[in-house]
Structures are given as structure tokens and as C-alpha cells.
Structure 1
Amino acid sequence: HCLLCQLRKPLKQPVVSKPIISLGVMTRLQIDLIDMRTRPDVVSVDVVYCWILHCIDHFSKFTWAYPLENKSAKEVVVHNTLVSRFIACSFYGINTRTSDTTKATPYEIMFGQHPRGDSEFWKIVKH
């Protein structure tokens, strides 16, 4: 290869040699802020919440999401706990899906029991 080709050739990025190890539930969290302002199909002038605070427990893979009006530190810390039912249903599906790695659901790892559906709850309450 010529000198110009060698100079243009991208450098190889080093691969992370150590995996991220989590020793238990709630010992390591991944937190992301998702900007919904760039989604014209989702956000309109009437929408108050333009950000989503997304949290994942690294060990159990349990997932939370909270709508935010802005990304200020105060708003992130004192988040609004009203999650739309569409997001809640999606996260319920994620949190109750069995993982190939752990052979359990994130819900089971997080709370030590199987998640109960509404029908199971009402059966218990009636008896």
C-alpha cells in the first residue's frame, strides 16, 4: 500500500479486555437519558415530557423508565413516576422474559419470586 493509503487507514480501536462484572442486584446500574425531541412522529407541541430516563440493573437486567419534562439534575433525581401504559407493558414484557444466561426472568432475580398476572392476583384475593 502507498503512504497515502496507510495514512488514511483507520486505526484499530482497542477491545475492552475486562468484562463488566456485577456482583448482585442493584450493585451496578446503567442509566440513559433518551431525547424524544428529535422524534417529530412522537413529540408535538402538546407533549410535556420530552425525555425518558431509562435505567437497567446490570445483574438482573430489570428495566425502569420514567418520563421527564427536561434533563435537569433536579428533574432526573425527582422523576415523575407516571409511566404511560404502553411503556409499562413493554417493560413488563422485558422484565418477565426468561434470560438464556441466567435461566430466570429479571423479575425473579430482582424480587426472588415469579411475577403474578392480574388473574393470579384476583384468585388470591378472592380466596
Structure 2
Amino acid sequence: MGYLTRLQMDFIDMRNVQDGEYKWILHTMDHFTKFSWAYSLKSKEVKSVADKLLQQFYSFGAPRILQSDNEKEFVANVIKELKTSRIDLTIINGRSQDSQTHAFVEHNNQILKLTLYKWIQLNNCKNWSKGLAQVVYSINSSSTQSIKITPYEKVFGPKSSYDIDMWQVLSTQDVVNEEDLPQDVIDKLKEYENQTNVVETTKPLNIKNSLTSLSLVPQISLDLTLPTVLSSKIHLSPQMKNKQRSELLVNEQIESNDTEKESNSRKAYSMCNNQRLRSETEATDMTITFKRRKLFHDALHQY
């Protein structure tokens, strides 16, 4: 079992506190990390649910198994709708929940609902869709008994070192430009960026040394070239002429072998170089994915 192996999907009924056209909350949770996502919905139509799930999958990846509380037929229709947008998507309809899992899921749905009600009271605002992202962030940043650390840390590593109180003070002071930040805040930002940035150093590739270390080229180069033109002043006997022809044939064979070895060496180097480039590309993709996820959660935090 691992991250995004099994995704739990459920609905929270908000019709008693209707926010305009929004009546439902689509609540999804990763079974392994307990990391949650939530989306406001106008209806429980399959198309609406699939659109929200695709939005999540394109940011975090698709799960292998999608399940919901006693709604296997509905999940099957959602998976079918998802595949109309992504034909390469392979998701299994999860099995029915046991009583213990069902109780756990209901507990988490209640936590989300009660926390959202608290947000409504504190902000004196019935437009709960505006506070949904903030509420989910607070839940993901709270420790759970089952994994001992926060879901946020389980997915992204240690929490951000930003001082939330400090940023709230800056906000009340109407500081909006980076150049207007106090120097101690700038120093903290630089320290954080140095910890999170991935610095890539590229060294010039020495082709000769690389090939030599791979034993793809001979360590010693011998000059086996024989003269092809003899001075007209030198008279050769028939025996010497035959010997010369034999040596010329040998030389041509040697040159042909050397050319073939060089060609094989170049092919081998090209294969190694392509493998290296693929590895670097995969590492770069992982870095970009991490930064995108960080930007996504930074955006959520602004609400």
C-alpha cells in the first residue's frame, strides 16, 4: 500500500446551509496518508464529480482504486466518465467497506463538516464554499492518531518554516511588495528558499575520458598505416611487389576493423549518453512536480 493506491470518495450534504447553488461537498481522502481534498458541488451528477476528480488527478496523480461508501454502481459510472476524458486511465472500482472502515470514513466526514461550521461562525459568513480550501488545509495540517504526523507531512515532508503570525502582521500593515519587507523577514525567506531549491550543477562531459573509463576505446593507439605510393626511383622485385600487395591488403583490413570499432564505440557512448539524459529528465520532472504541488498548497493557504 502506498500514496494514492486507494482513494476514498464521499459526499457531505450541505443543503441545510446552502451556499447559492452549492449544495454538496465532494470529499476525497487518500487511504494511506489520510490526506484530504474537498470540492463544492451544485449536484451529485456523474459528470460534475468526474470533472472535479480529473482536476485533482492532474495535480496529484490518479489512484489505482477508487471507492465510495456503498455506492459501487455510482463509482462505476464515474470511472466510465473519467475514461472518456483520459482513455489511458486505469482505475479499479473498490470493494465494499467493512464496518471499521465505514466508521472511520464517517468520522472524517463529520470532522470536515463541523470544522466548516466553525469557520462559518467565526467569519459570520454562510458562503462556506469560500472557506472550504482553508478548512481542508487546517485538517491536513493536523496530526492524526493513525499515522502520528500530519497528512501534509506524510505527503510533502516537513511543514513550511513560515511564521504564520508574522505574515498576518505584515498583512495588517498593508505590506504588498517584496522590497518593502523588513530585513529579518527577507533573511528568513532566503533561508527557506536555500533549503527548498534544488540546485543542478552541470559538468562538461569529457568524451575521451568517459569512453576510456568504459573500456570502449583502446588504451594505446598504434600507427599501422603503410605507404601507398612508392618512389619511381626504387625498383622492386616481383617478390617485393607481392609482399607489398599483401601488406596493403592487411592495412586495409586493419583500417576497416578500426573504423568498425570506432563506430561501435560511438554507438555505445550514444546509448550511455541517452540513458544519462533520461535520468536527468526524470529527476527534473520530479523537481517540477514537487514545486507545482508546493505552489498549489501555497495557493490554498492564501484563502
Normalising by the smaller structure, the TM-score range is: 0.5 to 0.7
User: Quick one: which of 124, 129, 139 aligns to 1:84?
Assistant: 129
Higher strand share: 1
Higher helix share: 2
Query: Is 1:113 aligned to residue 173 of structure 2?
Result: no
Unaligned runs of 5+ in 2: 56-127, 168-184, 194-303
Q: Count residues with an aligned counterpart.
A: 98
* Deviation, structure 1 residue 85: 4.0
* Deviation, structure 1 residue 43: 1.6
Change over 3 Å in CA distance of 1:115–1:63 after alignment to 2: farther
Tell me if the contact between 1:49 and 1:68 (Cα under 8 Å) persists in the aligned partners.
yes
Report the TM-score, using the length of structure 2 for normalisation: 0.28
Query: Is 1:43 aligned to residue 88 of structure 2?
Result: no
Unaligned runs of 5+ in 1: 1-22
- Structure ID, larger Rg: 2
Tell me if the contact between 2:39 and 2:132 (Cα under 8 Å) persists in the aligned partners.
no
* Deviation, structure 1 residue 69: 1.4
Query: Is 1:124 aligned to residue 189 of structure 2?
Result: yes
Tell me if the contact between 1:52 and 1:67 (Cα under 8 Å) persists in the aligned partners.
yes
**Where does 1:1-127 land on structure 2 (aligned, <5 Å)?**
23-37=1-15, 39=16, 42-43=17-18, 47-79=20-52, 84-115=129-160, 117=162, 119=167, 123-124=188-189
- Runs of 4 or more, structure 1, over 6 Å off, are none
Change over 3 Å in CA distance of 1:116–1:64 after alignment to 2: farther
User: Which structure exhibits the higher relative contact order, with contacts defined as CA atoms closer than 8 Å and separated by 6 or more residues?
Assistant: 1
| Residue identity in the other structure for 1:95 | N
Cα RMSD (Å): 3.0
Report the TM-score, using the length of structure 1 for normalisation: 0.62
Tell me if the contact between 1:67 and 1:79 (Cα under 8 Å) persists in the aligned partners.
no
